[in-house]
Amino acid sequence: MAEITNELMFELLKKIQADTNNLKQGQSEIKAELGALRGTMISMQQDIHNIYGVLGRHETRLDRIENRLELRELAEAQAKFEPHP
């Protein structure tokens, strides 16, 4: 069996430290990517919220237009039965 020396332990510790640094660097890259994804998701959520707001306004306008048309149609139908001078 190989003899364990201080030099061997030192080399093993350097390798462990290098591996740990690589893991930390990879973890920080993943954190940055997750931050970018989170920002993208937030902006998409805001866009969807804005779209729903616009659709709500359009629905309100269409409801008002439909109400006006129904009133006009009722008035036109009533006019057919009233005598004209």
Q: ∠ at Cα 13 (3, 10), nearest 5°?
A: 50
**Alpha-carbon gap, residue 60 to 84, rounded angstroms:** 36
Supply the pTM of this predicted model: 0.59
Helix (H, G, I), strand (E, B) or coil at 43: helix
In which band, very low, low, confident or very high, does the pLDDT at 68 lie, cut at 50, 70 and 90? confident
Quick one: pLDDT at residue 40? 98
**Alpha-carbon gap, residue 16 to 18, rounded angstroms:** 5
Q: Integer distance in angstroms from the first to the last C-alpha of the chain?
A: 123
Domain segments of the chain: what residues? 53-79
Residue 1 has pLDDT above 60, yes or no: no
pLDDT tens, residue by residue, 6-47 = 999 999 999 999 999 999 999 999 999 999 999 999 999 999
